[in-house]
Structure 1
Amino acid sequence: MKRFTSLEARIDHAAHGILDRLPARGLSGALVEFLVFGLKQGWACLFGGAILFLIIATKYLPPDGLGIARYDFLFLAALAIQLSMLAFRLETPSEAAVILIFHIVGTAMEIFKTSAGSWIYPEDSFFRIGGVPLFSGFMYAAVGSYIARISRIFDMRYTGYPPAWTTIVLAAAIYVNFFAHHFVVDIRYALFAAAGLLFWRTTVHYRVFRFRHRMPLLVGFLLVALFIWFAENIGTWSRAWLYPGQAEGWTPVSLQKLGAWYLLMNISFVLVTLVHRPHPLHDAQADDAGRAVRACRNAG
């Protein structure tokens, strides 16, 4: 897996030219790691952050004066952002493929869920399927884009990763349950347990700048799901879409939705692994040791 696009490689080279001069240990070393972690996370959120910014902006500055509906503007803007990111080498073709997959999977879920009354899109639009404006698929695509980009930018490696076929079976079961629970018994708690058992021993090892850190993968799922829940609150506050009970006035999205996003994270992660295969930690350990030695020498 190639870690950087050509533009990212130039940024990385320039950053090393400055940050390698700082001490690698102690408080300064920790601050450098923290700073780079935040910058890389922001870079990974580039697509999703742009979509969220446009959702907020069009609440206050609706594009009616341009003769276009808000949802259509969001769809065309998201498409333009996607094409621009490819043209300016801000993402790789494989990440664009992930976005396309997520757009299809997400739109299919949206069509079913809106028909079942789970949520609504209160405004009109031209680019839509049934009651679903096509920009909505890009919100799912933003999640896929983020996971694909952090997998690459942070050079993620894994220990205790389960067999790939088991993760695919779990993801398929979760996706089916999003539809089936409207007709038969909801098995989400069994799916929570299955995800816990499957990934209990899995640790993700990620390199920020000089050093490689680690985190239980299940904790990573929870943290990302939490931030998606925050973004969903912003989306419903801007009336981009509404849950039952929010039509008369905005109320925070139920914490129960955090569970749904946690399960969706499992689907999202597994879909990304079809493009960015999860590699074991030992493949990168020798390279990491060499980088750490060179960084310490440069820092004096």
Structure 2
Amino acid sequence: MKSIIQLLHFGYHQAMSCIFPVAIFGTLAITSVIDIPLFCRYDAILLILLGVQYFMYRSGLETLDEIKVICIFHVIGLCLELYKVWMGSWAYPEPGFTKMFGVPLYSGFMYASVASFMCQVWRRLRMDMTDWPGLIPSALLGGAIYLNFFTHHFIPDFRWWLTALVFIVFRKTRIIYRVRTTTYRMHLSVAFLLVGFFIWLAENIATFFGAWKYPDQEQTWQLVSFSKISSWFLLVIISVIIVAQLKYVKANRTQ
């Protein structure tokens, strides 16, 4: 019975941490079948998500510090989107006034939703980490991962080398999270893989509802390549590094 109660509490906090991602997918689904009067779809999505973000802040579901982290990741994601669309990795075929170089501004929110989840779940499950490698190793690794998303179009893709480095740098790091009065631990790299997998599932939902299209989805929708799990795995690492380091700074800690 205790295990069931623990699982229910854990599921509740996970669900509450996913409010913003769920809002995004709900908006994508609704706008794919219902036209918003006077607005192009991409513009309507942006306005709706801005409204959701404002509501979450005013209602106390997100703190000002969490909003700042989300904004940072929105910019990081938008820069990556601009580059990837320019390189032809995927496209946003629908019209919109809030598109910049072929990229709708709402697209940054899809990356920001990852940061939103991380901030929410960190606070709700009173998370902490043991044996965090520190600012310099984690920042250098996060920077190298982000840079590789850009450079692999011109030089060899180092994602698997970077993945190996992740397991080396974070080999001792464990996530501590608490459900009611019980404390649990999980290896950080395992958490990366789990979150990356679920984001890949979410990506399939997003492309199904036309959030964006990969070249092989132009004629008809099909499952996103399993190789994308590794991309999300690495992107999650960037979000965790940003969130964790800011939490450590906030707590005046260095380790």
Report the TM-score, using the length of structure 2 for normalisation.
0.95
* Residue 273 of structure 1: how far off its partner (Å): 2.0
Root mean square deviation of aligned Cα? 1.4
CA deviation map 1:137-164 (0-9, x unaligned): 0000000000111111111122222122
Q: Secondary structure at the match of 1:263?
A: helix
Q: Secondary structure at the match of 2:218?
A: coil
* Residue 279 of structure 1: how far off its partner (Å): 10
Task: Supply the distance in 1 between the matched residues of 2:60 and 2:217 (Cα, whole angstroms).
Answer: 40
Task: Supply the distance in 1 between the matched residues of 2:167 and 2:249 (Cα, whole angstroms).
Answer: 18
Task: Supply the distance in 1 between the matched residues of 2:134 and 2:211 (Cα, whole angstroms).
Answer: 39
What residue in structure 2 maps to residue 36 of structure 1?
9
Deviating 4+ runs (over 4 angstroms): none
Task: Supply the distance in 1 between the matched residues of 2:9 and 2:35 (Cα, whole angstroms).
Answer: 36
Q: Secondary structure at the match of 1:277?
A: helix
CA deviation map 1:33-65 (0-9, x unaligned): 1000000001111111111111111112132xx
Within the candidate set 43, 50, 55, 1:84 is matched to 55
Identity %: 40
* Residue 68 of structure 1: how far off its partner (Å): 0.4
What residue in structure 2 maps to residue 298 of structure 1?
none
Work out whether residues 158 and 279 of structure 1, in 8 Å CA contact, stay in contact via their aligned partners in 2. Answer: no
What residue in structure 2 maps to residue 118 of structure 1?
89
What residue in structure 2 maps to residue 18 of structure 1?
none
* Structure 2: runs of 5+ lacking an equivalent: none
2:35 is equivalent to residue 62 of structure 1: yes
2:190 is equivalent to residue 219 of structure 1: yes
2:86 is equivalent to residue 139 of structure 1: no
| Mapping for residues 261-300 of structure 1, pairs under 5 Å | 261-277=232-248
| Mapping for residues 167-178 of structure 1, pairs under 5 Å | 167-178=138-149
Task: Supply the distance in 2 between the matched residues of 1:257 and 1:247 (Cα, whole angstroms).
Answer: 18
Work out whether residues 157 and 279 of structure 1, in 8 Å CA contact, stay in contact via their aligned partners in 2. Answer: no
CA deviation map 1:201-251 (0-9, x unaligned): 111110011211111111111111111001100011111200011010000
| Mapping for residues 1-80 of structure 1, pairs under 5 Å | 28-63=1-36, 66-80=37-51
Task: Supply the distance in 2 between the matched residues of 1:36 and 1:186 (Cα, whole angstroms).
Answer: 41
Within the candidate set 64, 86, 108, 2:79 is matched to 108
* Residue 90 of structure 1: how far off its partner (Å): 1.0
Task: Supply the distance in 2 between the matched residues of 1:253 and 1:217 (Cα, whole angstroms).
Answer: 25
* Structure 1: runs of 5+ lacking an equivalent: 1-27, 281-300
Work out whether residues 199 and 218 of structure 1, in 8 Å CA contact, stay in contact via their aligned partners in 2. Answer: yes
Task: Supply the distance in 2 between the matched residues of 1:274 and 1:70 (Cα, whole angstroms).
Answer: 36
Q: If you compute each CA radius of gyration, which structure gives the higher value, 1 or 2? A: 1
Residues 90/150 of structure 1: CA separation in 2 closer, same or farther (3 Å cut)? same
Task: Supply the distance in 1 between the matched residues of 2:225 and 2:249 (Cα, whole angstroms).
Answer: 33
Work out whether residues 98 and 104 of structure 2, in 8 Å CA contact, stay in contact via their aligned partners in 1. Answer: yes
Q: Secondary structure at the match of 1:169?
A: helix
Report the TM-score, using the length of structure 1 for normalisation.
0.81
